[in-house]
Amino acid sequence: MDAHYAAMFSLTLIHLLLHISALDFLSPGSSLSVEHSSDVLYSPDGSFTCGFYHISPNSSIFSVWFSHSVEKTVVWSANLDRPVYTWGSKLKLNIDGNMVLQDYSGQIVWTNNVSSSNVQEARLLESGNLIVKGQGDIILWQSFASPSDTLLPNQIINGTIKLVSSTSSNRLVVPGHYSFHFDDQHLLTLFDDEKDVSFIYWPNPFINIWAKQRIPFNTTMTGVLDSLGHFLGSDNASFMAADWGPEITRRLTLDYDGNLRLYSLNKNGTWLVTWMAFTQLCFVRGLCGINGVCMYTPKPACACAPGHEIIDPSDWSKGCKPKFRITCDGMRFLKLPTTEFLGYDQGTYKQVSLSDCKNICMSDCSCKGFSYWRGKGDCYPKSSLVGGVTVQTLPGSTYLKLPEALQVPESSIPSSQPSGHQYGLNCSAENQYFIAKFSDISSGQSESRFLYFYGFLSAIFLVEVIFVVLGCWFILRMEGRQLTGVRPAEAGYDMITNHFRRYTYNELHRATRKFKDELGRGASGVVYKGILKDKREVAVKKLAGIEQCEEEFQHELSVISKIYHMNLVRVWGFCSDGSHRMLVSEYVENGSLDKILFRSEESQILLGWKDRFKVALGVAKGLAYLHHECLEWVIHCDVKPENILLDENLEPKITDFGLAKLLNRGGNNKNVSRIHGTRGYIAPEWVSSLPITAKVDVYSFGVVLLELLKGSRVSEWAKIEDEEDEVEKVLQRAVRMLAVNVKLQEGREQSWIIDFIDCRLNGRFSYLQARTMIKLAISCIEEDRGKRPTMENVAQMLLSVDEESIVA
Ligand SMILES: *[C@@H]1O[C@H](CO)[C@@H](O)[C@H](O)[C@H]1NC(C)=O
Ligand SMILES: *[C@@H]1O[C@H](CO)[C@@H](O)[C@H](O)[C@H]1NC(C)=O
Ligand SMILES: *[C@@H]1O[C@H](CO)[C@@H](O)[C@H](O)[C@H]1NC(C)=O
Ligand SMILES: *[C@@H]1O[C@H](CO)[C@@H](O)[C@H](O)[C@H]1NC(C)=O
Ligand SMILES: *[C@@H]1O[C@H](CO)[C@@H](O)[C@H](O)[C@H]1NC(C)=O
Ligand SMILES: *[C@@H]1O[C@H](CO)[C@@H](O)[C@H](O)[C@H]1NC(C)=O
Ligand SMILES: *[C@@H]1O[C@H](CO)[C@@H](O)[C@H](O)[C@H]1NC(C)=O
């Protein structure tokens, strides 16, 4: 009797022990049931719980959450997109280690795909990592390898790991369209995954890699938030919690609004934001969808562009649809002050008047409106209105194309209130102006607390934010044209600014038909013609004498890849395959300027005056872009007719820029020794030991100007004069003579100009333009580089005489 009782007791005890211990780990063959609230696993210190989380009375997801936050904050879940029924569902650990989540009907909703013969248990670690462990502490599976929208301290993000936002503020519905992972330049990046295309929106895609302070192409690809609150990635992505320090519970979450935020847990169980990727939420891409405008009320909010209505009030990212039909006639423009739409530019027009810009957009039926920058006269007609934002600091305005008949009230024009009273929206007014607030943004309260902490951050960071906000728009303009016609690239996404990609040797071998069709050769390598699989004609340059290591090479490429201007040859990609280093760029029909300009009798094309002027202006614009407008600060260092290509309209495109010739803005001249200019075009400071600046290109441009005017090479002049003199001396003499003539003959009959200009033109040129070009050439070839103009000055001078009327 006693023995029986003792046996009963010990059985009960064992059962009890088993039951208690089931809270610490799950052994093979056992399961957690959705009905029993005690069926959960705790981490050893109790800060995390794993079990079924009820997202509604009838549906649950299998998750890990913080035990001590007021509302259960889920950090990981197995079946976000496929909740299970709150009765009859269970999670089972099979004896082979396979963890299976079954719905009430027995249907398998999720499994971790483990199959092992030595499974020990499933356990929730102190870090919040749910693992399936084998004998000898082998980890067979871990939740840290497949995060949802949150990274915990010491959880590594690597090349295969991806955070995906959820769509709703309770963070527990379907996966959203924002993601956080490494991009194909190996940079940690925030993506807005739209239908067929992914857009990068952080780090700011419109600034260069140095402004981003990132290091591309580090193949290590890791990133981790340490226990003190500092995040560091292998790409130098780095940020720090405002309350940096030990013993604080933190999480890094990609919120449903697309912002990446770092949170700390308060003692009372609420969350505090201690860092976020965007302090200006409106700059998160895709927040308000197509035809939507993000604005500050002063809280961020979405509104439809006037004349549009919301498609789905519960999901702003779907945007707004027009309440009218765009027709070709009977349209007018409505001004939306300090408003911009991101991308989808149909073209870029510089220094045009507002009425010209209106005409451009009006004459194109597909144009939905345009952005116009008053001071600069920049005009950007849009094929689609996406990523709208209204901020009073924006320098441009958008003009929306609307039917003349459609009346829209003044109050439907979005405008931001930087501070002060809330936006005076009138909800009872008709649906002209649907406005959604992000008031339910996770931890709305924390937002203001963050700003408080934010005050302690360095001033540099503040400056950076302002720069991003203001600078972004300007740079965007430069890249604008690429925004049209984006299509998914190999990597499964496309970046707004970047069609740049890597090609394999085999691909290029095939494209060039075994490097058969040689287009030309120069000091930097041989160029072959090729046709890519997508039928694009390209020029493939086999680079010679590239001694850099792979990473250095790719770093320089990442700079080149961002350079885009109509007067610069577009570089499409590269190949770095074993010892092969190649550049793939657009194919330019008419070859290089020297072939057309200098070829004497047998030349079929005689470059007329108009085209010569066009070449001068285009090259000046291209160089000005390299020197001033693109933040990469590139000095070409080898400007000469061989490096100026002409397209089918004889529009010039500069080639060979930026390769191993990148000089820092700060005047770091380490690389100069690697640069080799070409005799006849190189500035005097090459020979002396003065530092190389953008003014060397100005000098070379001056020489090219003279050659355009004269139609022959400067080096030929030396031969004509039948002297043994050096090219430089002959050039200086010619320039001095021209300078004297210009001075002497000010305002008088200028027959000397006719004598100087290429006789093949038979006097068909514009005196005004020729005179301006000569004057410019003289100042560009100044020996004292301080006296040379900048390329921007040069371009402006040429523009000022760019009228159509040419003396016949
Ligand atoms: C949950 O399921 C029960 C029984 O199937 C049903 O009566 C009830 O309406 C459901 N509740 C909700 C909120 O769907
Ligand atoms: C398990 O395998 C299935 C089918 O291959 C896959 O869809 C699923 O994502 C895998 N689960 C995990 C956790 O890797
Ligand atoms: C990324 O990390 C997970 C676990 O943290 C690991 O399973 C996976 O193999 C890693 N991937 C790479 C490419 O290192
Ligand atoms: C790496 O990041 C730090 C701080 O974020 C910055 O000071 C540094 O210049 C960056 N390094 C590079 C190479 O961009
Ligand atoms: C790449 O990242 C790893 C890990 O952060 C680092 O140790 C290594 O120095 C980086 N390499 C380069 C070239 O920056
Ligand atoms: C929680 O504590 C923080 C400070 O630690 C305080 O600012 C906040 O108001 C508190 N929240 C609640 C709901 O008590
Ligand atoms: C709101 O709009 C309605 C209808 O347009 C109008 O009658 C009402 O006066 C407006 N209220 C305010 C506060 O502007």
Point out the ligand 1 atom lying closest to the alpha carbon of residue 58. 1
Confidence category of residue 559, pLDDT binned at 50, 70, 90: low
Rounded to whole angstroms, how far apart are CA atoms 503 and 541? 13
* Residue 145, C-beta contacts closer than 8 angstroms, at least 6 positions apart: 160, 161
Structure-model confidence comparison of residues 667 and 718, the more confident one: 718
**Contact call for residues 399 and 341 (beta carbons, < 8 A):** no
The helix or strand, by DSSP H or E, that contains position 120, with its residue range, turns out to be strand 119-124
Alpha carbon of residue 678 to chain centroid: 35
Rounded to whole angstroms, how far apart are CA atoms 361 and 401? 8
- Determine which residue's CA is closest to atom 8 belonging to ligand 5: 234
- pLDDT of the residue at 667: 37
Torsion angle (degrees, nearest 10) of CA 175, 180, 182, 185: 110
CA–centroid distance, 211 to ligand 4, in Å, is: 9
Rounded to whole angstroms, how far apart are CA atoms 760 and 682? 27
Query: pLDDT, tens digit, for every residue of 201-241?
Result: 888 876 767 778 898 888 899 999 999 999 999 999 999 88
Please tell me whether 541 is known to bind a ligand. no
CA–centroid distance, 44 to ligand 3, in Å, is: 25
**Contact call for residues 165 and 254 (beta carbons, < 8 A):** yes
209: nearest Cα among 480, 491, 497: 497
CA–centroid distance, 274 to ligand 6, in Å, is: 14
Structure-model confidence comparison of residues 456 and 212, the more confident one: 212
Instruction: Give yes or no for residue 246 CB within 6 A of ligand 1.
Output: no
- Determine which residue's CA is closest to atom 3 belonging to ligand 4: 213
Confidence category of residue 425, pLDDT binned at 50, 70, 90: very low
Neighbours of 256 (CB within 10 A): 24
Ligand 6: residue of 270, 274, 447 to mutate (most ligand atoms within 8 A of CB) is 270
Encoded tokens for 199: 């857009």
Encoded tokens for 340: 């911009």
DSSP string, 430-446: -TTS-EEE-TTSTTHHH
- The partner residues of 56 in beta bridges, in order of sequence, read 59
Confidence category of residue 630, pLDDT binned at 50, 70, 90: low
Point out the ligand 4 atom lying closest to the alpha carbon of residue 214. 14
- Unique residue bearing structure tokens 């959450």: 65
Q: Which amino acid is at 154?
A: N
Residue 635, pLDDT > 70, answer yes
Point out the ligand 4 atom lying closest to the alpha carbon of residue 212. 14
Cβ < 6 Å from ligand 7: which residues? 426, 428-429
- Determine which residue's CA is closest to atom 7 belonging to ligand 4: 213
Cis peptide before 337 (omega within 30 of 0): no
Query: pLDDT, tens digit, for every residue of 381-424?
Result: 998 898 888 887 777 899 999 999 888 887 778 877 654 333 33
Structure-model confidence comparison of residues 421 and 484, the more confident one: 421
Full set of structural domains in the chain with CATH: 22-145 (2.90.10.10), 147-279+423-446 (2.90.10.10), 284-412 (3.50.4.10), 501-586 (3.30.200.20), 593-800 (1.10.510.10)
CA–centroid distance, 259 to ligand 3, in Å, is: 25
Q: Which ligand is nearest to the CA of 219?
A: 5
Tell me which of 412-421, 504-513, 648-657, 714-723 is least confident.
Answer: 412-421
- Please state, rounded to an integer, the average pLDDT across all residues of the chain: 78
What single-letter DSSP state applies at residue 183?
Answer: -
- pLDDT of the residue at 808: 36
Query: pLDDT, tens digit, for every residue of 264-274?
Result: 998 888 888 88
Pairing of strands 292-296, 388-390: parallel
Ligand 2: residue of 77, 99, 100, 113 to mutate (most ligand atoms within 8 A of CB) is 113
Distances (CA, A) of 60 to 145, 147, 168: 22, 18, 16
Neighbours of 385 (CB within 10 A): 27
310: nearest Cα among 438, 439, 435, 441: 435
- pLDDT of the residue at 188: 95
As a whole number, mean pLDDT of residues 1-19 equals 48
Percent of the chain topping pLDDT 90: 32
- Determine which residue's CA is closest to atom 10 belonging to ligand 1: 58
Alpha carbon of residue 268 to chain centroid: 40
Instruction: Give yes or no for residue 371 CB within 6 A of ligand 5.
Output: no
Among the options 638, 656, 697, 758, which is catalytic? 638
Rounded to whole angstroms, how far apart are CA atoms 76 and 161? 13
Point out the ligand 1 atom lying closest to the alpha carbon of residue 56. 13
Point out the ligand 5 atom lying closest to the alpha carbon of residue 232. 5
Q: Which ligand is nearest to the CA of 100?
A: 2
Query: pLDDT, tens digit, for every residue of 324-362?
Result: 887 888 899 999 998 988 777 787 788 888 999 999 999
**Contact call for residues 382 and 344 (beta carbons, < 8 A):** yes
- pLDDT of the residue at 460: 28
CA–centroid distance, 70 to ligand 3, in Å, is: 32
As a whole number, mean pLDDT of residues 548-575 equals 74
Tell me which of 5-19, 231-245, 682-696 is least confident.
Answer: 5-19
Pairing of strands 339-340, 73-77: unpaired
447: nearest Cα among 288, 316, 317, 255: 255
CA–centroid distance, 146 to ligand 2, in Å, is: 11
- pLDDT of the residue at 734: 86
CA–centroid distance, 60 to ligand 1, in Å, is: 13
- Determine which residue's CA is closest to atom 12 belonging to ligand 6: 268
Confidence category of residue 262, pLDDT binned at 50, 70, 90: very high
Residue 11, pLDDT > 50, answer no
Ligand 6: residue of 266, 445, 449 to mutate (most ligand atoms within 8 A of CB) is 266
Ligand 4: residue of 212, 213, 235, 240 to mutate (most ligand atoms within 8 A of CB) is 213
DSSP string, 592-626: BHHHHHH--TT-S----HHHHHHHHHHHHHHHHII
Torsion angle (degrees, nearest 10) of CA 22, 26, 27, 32: 90
Cβ < 6 Å from ligand 4: which residues? 213, 215, 236, 238
Cis peptide before 488 (omega within 30 of 0): no
Query: pLDDT, tens digit, for every residue of 731-769?
Result: 888 888 888 888 876 666 667 888 888 888 888 888 889
Residue 228 three-state SS: coil
Return the CA Rg of the chain.
33
- Determine which residue's CA is closest to atom 3 belonging to ligand 6: 266
Phi, psi for residue 466 in degrees, rounded to 5:
-65, -40
Residue ranges of E strands in 307-464: 308-310, 320-322, 331-336, 339-340, 369-373, 378-382, 388-390, 397-403, 435-437
- pLDDT of the residue at 661: 45
- Unique residue bearing structure tokens 């033109």: 761
Cβ < 6 Å from ligand 6: which residues? 266-268, 270
Instruction: Give yes or no for residue 613 CB within 6 A of ligand 3.
Output: no
91: nearest Cα among 126, 136, 47, 132: 132
As a whole number, mean pLDDT of residues 512-526 equals 86
Q: Is-catalytic flag, 802?
A: no
- Determine which residue's CA is closest to atom 8 belonging to ligand 4: 213
CA–centroid distance, 287 to ligand 7, in Å, is: 28
Torsion angle (degrees, nearest 10) of CA 363, 364, 369, 371: -80
